[in-house]
């Protein structure tokens, strides 16, 4: 598994570069999944790699982690629920990418500013 080979050693003994990169990646996921929480996503990855669970301090992070665990351990393990749930979640994710990243990047504008959220073409035009 890719995560076990590359992420497990870095999660076990994180370097400063790995922490900066993982924080940037998890924060960048927010425009796609606005109700996510970076600490919950990171803890879910830790638990997926069989690390000892840690208690999250934020109520929002604990709720998001509980929802993630419920989805992965219940909704995706029972075949008939997974048959219904996977297309539904894929559709929501595709809609979220279209709405939040391509059509109306409001969350990206709020988080990263207007210039960045309009895409690389706009950045190249303004800085060349």
What is the dihedral angle through the alpha carbons of 99, 39, 117, 16, rounded to the nearest 10 degrees? -150
Q: What pLDDT sits at residue 127?
A: 44
* pTM higher than 0.85: no
pLDDT in tens, the chain (128 residues): 677 887 888 888 888 888 888 888 777 777 777 678 889 988 998 998 899 999 999 999 999 999 999 999 999 999 999 999 999 989 988 887 787 777 777 766 776 666 655 555 544 444 44
**Could you give the CA distance from residue 38 to residue 75 in angstroms, rounded to a whole number?**
22
Say which residues have a Cβ less than 8 Å from residue 4's Cβ, sequence separation at least 6. 49
């Amino acid at each position: 598994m890719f995560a076990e080979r590359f992420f497990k050693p870095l999660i076990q003994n994180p370097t400063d570069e790995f922490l900066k990169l993982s924080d940037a990646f998890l924060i960048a996921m927010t425009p796609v999944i606005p109700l996510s929480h970076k600490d919950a996503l990171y803890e879910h990855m830790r638990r997926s790699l069989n690390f000892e669970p840690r208690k999250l301090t934020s109520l929002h992070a604990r709720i998001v982690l509980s929802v993630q665990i419920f989805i992965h351990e219940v909704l995706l393990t029972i075949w008939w629920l997974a048959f219904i749930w996977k297309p539904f979640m894929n559709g929501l994710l595709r809609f979220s990418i279209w709405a939040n990243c391509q059509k109306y990047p409001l969350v990206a504008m709020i988080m990263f500013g207007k210039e960045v959220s309009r895409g690389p073409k706009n950045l190249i035009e303004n800085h060349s």
